[in-house]
Amino acid sequence: MPQPATAARHPRLRTLALLAPTLLLAACTGTPAASRTPDASTTTPQVTGPLCAALPTGTDPGNPTFLAGQPVAEALRWIPTLTTFEAALRTSGVLDDIPTGTAVTVLAPTDDAFAATFSEDNWDDLMTHHTDQLRTLIKAHLSTGDHPIGDLATAGSTTTLDGATITVTRTGATTRLADRADTVCADYQATNARIHIINAVLGPLPVTADGTGHRAH
């Protein structure tokens, strides 16, 4: 019995055969058959700082390449040392006040930085009862624009959303902010955002810690 043609037996080959005239026309006219949009996964953001080696890398969940395609609020949730800051940012609602499409740079203190600054009771009180003070504190860690840490150091200063201008100076392998905090893993990228992890809390502090409190995350 005669066998069916190869293209008929293989649907994929039949599809390619049907597309061949379109592809040939595109090749002859120099017009691509379909435009391609760059994908965030094709880039490899370079993060720098002493803490980076302890954070997700390669194909681990939360690696820099994956985060580059996430909204900033979602990206922060994937960085394991920023649970306190992420919760405070979400509770404050500050991101909701920033116009859609506006780039933002985040100076994000580590969980250890918050633990060294606020006792457990003081932090819980701030999060629960003092939203205005919390919002002011969070604004001290945000500035408009997508600013790599090298650009901030070159400029020598940056103005945060609370209206304060803080100094930025290069100190060897890290960068010093407001003569208070150092970057420990800088230049995470997110959608329309840049995240620099720092080792101290910035801005006016509504309460201080005794250094012995520990917050469960």
Instruction: State which H helix or E strand residue 166 sits in.
Output: strand 165-171
Give the model's pLDDT for residue 40.
40
At 13, list the tokens: 């080959």
Contact partners, residue 209, CB within 8 Å, separation at least 6: 115, 116, 117, 118, 119, 122, 123
- Give me the number of domains the chain comprises: 2
29 and 88 belong to one structural domain: no
Q: Say yes or no: 15 and 68 in one domain.
A: no
pTM: 0.77
In a domain, 71, yes or no: yes
Instruction: Say if CB 110 and CB 184 are below 8 A apart.
Output: yes
Is the domain of 32 the same as that of 47?
Answer: no
Same domain flag for 103 and 180: yes
pLDDT, one tens digit per residue, over 14-42 is: 433 444 444 333 444 443 433 333 344 45
Do 48 and 151 have their domain in common?
Answer: yes
58 in a structural domain: yes
CA angle 213, 195, 125 (to 5 degrees): 30
User: How far apart (Å, rounded) are the C-alpha atoms in residues 207 and 125?
Assistant: 10
pLDDT (average), residues 2-14: 43
CB 139 within 8 A of CB 203: yes
- Domain shared by 3 and 92, yes or no: no
Check pLDDT > 90 for residue 156.
yes
Upper half-sphere CA count for residue 22 (Cβ side, 13 Å): 8
DSSP string spanning 110-165?
A: -HHHHHHHS-HHHHHHHHHH-HHHHHHHHHTTEEES---HHHHHHH-EEE-TTS-E
Domain that holds residue 145: 40-198
Find the CATH number of the domain harbouring 54. Answer: 2.30.180.10
Which pLDDT does position 43 carry in this prediction? 60
Model confidence at 206, in pLDDT bands (50, 70, 90)? confident
Residues 115 and 143 reside in one and the same domain: yes
Q: Are residues 76 and 154 part of one domain?
A: yes
pLDDT for 93 equals 97
Does a structural domain hold residue 118? Answer: yes
CB neighbour class for 23 (10 Å; exposed up to 12, middle 13-18, buried from 19):
exposed
Check whether 90 has a pLDDT greater than 60: yes
d(CA 85, CA 77): 9
Whether residues 94 and 169 fall in one domain: yes
Pair (25, 105) in one structural domain: no
Is 26 strand, coil or helix? helix
Asked if residues 113 and 195 have their Cβ atoms less than 8 Å apart, the reply is no
As a whole number, mean pLDDT of residues 132-138 equals 96
- Between CA 23 and CA 16 the distance in angstroms is 9
- The candidate with the shortest Cα–Cα distance to 189, out of 51, 38, 78, 54, is 78
| Residue 204 resides in a domain | no
Q: Are residues 32 and 46 in the same domain?
A: no
48 with 32, same domain: the answer is no
